[in-house]
Amino acid sequence: MNLDELYQEVILDHYKHPRGAGLREPYEGESHQVNPTCGDEITLRVHVDGDTIGDVSYDNVGCSISKASASVMYELVNGATVDDALARLAEFTELMNSKGQAEGDEETLEDAVAFAGVSKYPMRVKCALLGWMAFKDALVRASTPGRTEA
Ligand code: ZN
């Protein structure tokens, strides 16, 4: 099995068995994001507990890339400190903007390195980043009281 096949397996596994899926309470920030070019949609909630991401819950529809990416994101940010979660968001965004030139650091990105090959396809990059964008937006709303219903 070569690396591409291995990565396909990782993505397929997250797609078939999404980690942390479903909307839960409590939460302080919620975000709904749509990727019209593919038809992907996600509603994501963030529960911040002190300086830690207490929970990330989500409900999504769409392609295998967008759904698998949300599952991988859950694993990377749930239970992490807010600073670490934002660092992983930045690192994954950088990987997705690498146009196939970066491999990603498995130490910090774990299963998310499986999306390295996706960065070659601009249309798919939007799919892979959708969940992360929802997380970023929900986190901003969580730290800005009163914006949750916006
Ligand atoms: Zn998609």
29-78 pLDDT tens trace: 999 999 999 999 999 999 999 999 999 999 999 999 999 999 999 999 99
38 CA → ligand 1 middle, Å: 5
Query: What is the reported pLDDT for 4?
Result: 86
Query: What is the reported pLDDT for 146?
Result: 55
97: domain CATH number? 3.90.1010.10
51 CA → ligand 1 middle, Å: 32
Q: What is the mean pLDDT of the chain?
A: 94
Q: What percent of the chain has pLDDT over 90?
A: 91
Query: What is the reported pLDDT for 31?
Result: 98
50 CA → ligand 1 middle, Å: 33
Reply yes or no on whether the pLDDT at 148 is more than 50: no
15 CA → ligand 1 middle, Å: 12
Query: What is the reported pLDDT for 145?
Result: 63
Residue 22: which residues within 8 A CB-CB, separation 6 or more? 57, 58, 59
Could you list the residue range(s) of the whole structural domain that residue 41 is in?
3-142
Domain membership of residue 28 (yes or no) is: yes
Query: What is the reported pLDDT for 143?
Result: 86
Domain membership of residue 149 (yes or no) is: no
145 CA → ligand 1 middle, Å: 31
Distances (CA, A) of 88 to 105, 108, 119, 146: 10, 7, 16, 27
User: 72 near 118, Cβ under 8 Å?
Assistant: no
Reply yes or no on whether the pLDDT at 150 is more than 60: no
Q: How many domains does the chain have?
A: 1
Domain membership of residue 150 (yes or no) is: no
Q: Where are any strands of DSSP class E within 1-150?
A: 29-35, 40-49, 52-61
User: 72 near 20, Cβ under 8 Å?
Assistant: no
114 CA → ligand 1 middle, Å: 16
Reply yes or no on whether the pLDDT at 111 is more than 70: yes
pTM over 0.85: yes
Domain membership of residue 19 (yes or no) is: yes
